[in-house]
């Protein structure tokens, strides 16, 4: 009960702060917040970087801000906890997490963060053909989803993160539409080339 009334007071303070603004100021504040979506890209080890770079590159291409870090579920558990608990308070909208072998990073982040988590299974040096990583990230228990892309599929993880942001950001949505047109044009050009 005590907790409920505290929550109500916080909501009241928040609504006074935001909705009591003059219309012009309110518009500026809302517009400013509009394109602030950021994607966090984390990985279990620096050895994952050659794979995870693809996510960074495609998000840069889409003009989406990224934050990159190394967080290991097994070697830096305190950092994992801190990152997962706080990412949503720092303007991050989507988290891409890649790891290899016994890849617990995406699932553990998903267990603590309210944000959408995209998991990238990495075929690492300690992996049994990538299957360990794929299954560790894919087979999550009910209630704690991780959107798992293909083995080493960091590029698709980046595109999916952009699409999530694009669902509420028109500028990003337009970029995705243009990107898909480019994909189509490239295939058509290749097909035309076969006929020559």
Are 159 and 165 within 8 A, CB to CB? no
Closest CB to ligand AIR: residue number? 44
Residue range at the interface with ligand AIR (CB under 6 A); choices 15-23, 38-46, 150-158, 161-169: 38-46
Q: Using the rule CB under 6 A, is 103 a contact of ligand AIR? A: yes
Are 115 and 95 within 8 A, CB to CB? yes
DSSP code of 113?
A: -
Maximum separation of any 2 CA atoms in the chain, in Å? 76
Task: Tell me how far, at minimum, the Cβ of 174 lies from ligand AIR, in Å.
Answer: 34
Query: Which of 64, 73, 120, 140 is close enough to bind ligand AIR by CB under 6 A?
Result: 73
Q: Which residues pair with 99 in a beta bridge?
A: 121
Distance of CA 110 to the CA centre of its chain: 11
Rg (CA), the chain: 20
Query: Which of 21, 49, 68, 74 is close enough to bind ligand AIR by CB under 6 A?
Result: 74
Query: Which of 37, 39, 42, 45 is close enough to bind ligand AIR by CB under 6 A?
Result: 45
Task: Tell me how far, at minimum, the Cβ of 98 lies from ligand AIR, in Å.
Answer: 7
| Measured distance CA(69)–CA(42) in Å, rounded | 5
Instruction: Please give the residues from 108 up to 127 whose contact with ligand AIR meets the rule CB under 6 A.
Output: 122, 124-126
Can you point out the beta strands (E) in 37-196?
38-43, 65-70, 92-100, 117-122, 147-148
Task: Tell me how far, at minimum, the Cβ of 95 lies from ligand AIR, in Å.
Answer: 15
Which residue in the block uniquely carries the two structure tokens 């539409």? 177
Task: Tell me how far, at minimum, the Cβ of 45 lies from ligand AIR, in Å.
Answer: 3
Residue range at the interface with ligand AIR (CB under 6 A); choices 52-60, 84-92, 94-102, 156-164: 94-102
Task: Using CB under 6 A, list all residues that contact ligand AIR.
Answer: 43-45, 47-48, 72-75, 99-103, 122, 124-126
């Amino acid at each position: 009960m005590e907790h409920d009334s505290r929550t109500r007071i916080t909501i009241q303070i928040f609504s006074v702060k935001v909705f009591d603004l003059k219309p012009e100021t309110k518009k500026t504040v809302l517009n400013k917040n509009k394109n602030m979506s950021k994607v966090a890209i984390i990985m279990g080890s620096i050895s994952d970087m050659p794979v995870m770079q693809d996510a960074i590159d495609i998000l840069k291409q889409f003009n989406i801000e990224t934050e990159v870090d190394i967080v290991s579920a097994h070697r830096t558990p305190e950092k994992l906890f801190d990152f997962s608990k706080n990412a949503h308070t720092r303007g991050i909208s989507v988290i891409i997490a890649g790891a290899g072998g016994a890849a617990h990073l995406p699932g553990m982040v998903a267990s603590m963060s309210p944000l959408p988590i995209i998991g990238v299974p990495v075929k690492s040096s300690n992996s049994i053909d990538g299957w360990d990583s794929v299954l560790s990230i894919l087979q999550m228990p009910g209630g704690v989803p991780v959107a798992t892309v293909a083995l080493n599929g960091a590029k698709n993880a980046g595109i999916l993160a952009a699409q999530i942001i694009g669902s509420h950001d028109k500028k990003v949505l337009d970029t995705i539409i243009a990107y898909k047109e480019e994909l189509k044009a490239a295939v058509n050009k290749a097909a035309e080339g076969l006929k020559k």
